[in-house]
Amino acid sequence: MKSLISISMAFIILNLDSLSSQVLNEDNKVLNSNENREFKKMKRTDSEWRRILSSSEYHILREKGTERAFTGEYDGHFEEGMYVCAGCGHKLFDSETKYRSGCGWPAFSKALPESVEETEDNSYGMRRIEITCSKCDGHLGHVFNDGPQPSGLRYCINSVSMDFKPEEDK
């Protein structure tokens, strides 16, 4: 009888667990996840990320930090080439889509296909769409609806989250 009770308790706890993760998924819904992507997700442990990344890269990519406005390496950087994820090297943005938004962070009007994922972010009392790398899930920045036409989008991205590959390496 005792074991029956503990089995039922375990069952209830398991159910509660799946219920809470469903609620979480409702709140942090992935808006454009691509189930048929051509690449595998990169999974690393927290200690691996700490070893591989610099402290500022770790803070922004893995702890969703933000670099101070107008301080980033790529804010005023307009060479031709490709911006890739600083965590995993995944291609994110073509320099052709970079523009001067004046917001203090590198801004792009378009992301490369399958490069990023969008998630609702309601932290700090704001309703924003967070942008993460679709390969390693590293935090990149946010996307807003005040960008130039035709996309009307402004991908506002931390310089620390990216590495730049000049045109010849494209």
User: Which residues contact Fe ion (rule: CB under 5 A)?
Assistant: 85, 87-88, 90, 133, 135-136, 138
Tokens 């819904």, residue located: 29
- Asked whether the bond before 113 is cis by omega within 30 degrees of 0, the reply is no
* In the complex, minimum distance from the CB of residue 98 to Fe ion, in angstroms, rounded to a whole number: 18
133 a catalytic residue: no
Minimum distance, C-beta of residue 87 to Fe ion, in the bound complex (Å): 4
Q: Which residue has the tokens 């398991």?
A: 14
Distance between CA 132 and CA 28 in Å, rounded?
Answer: 13
| Closest to Fe ion by CB, 57 or 75 | 57
In whole angstroms, how close is the CB of 131 to Fe ion at the nearest point?
11
Nearer CB in complex with Fe ion: 90/154: 90
Catalytic residue among 85, 133, 136, 156: 156
The Cα–Cα gap between 148 and 152 comes to 5
Provide the annotated active-site residues.
Answer: 156
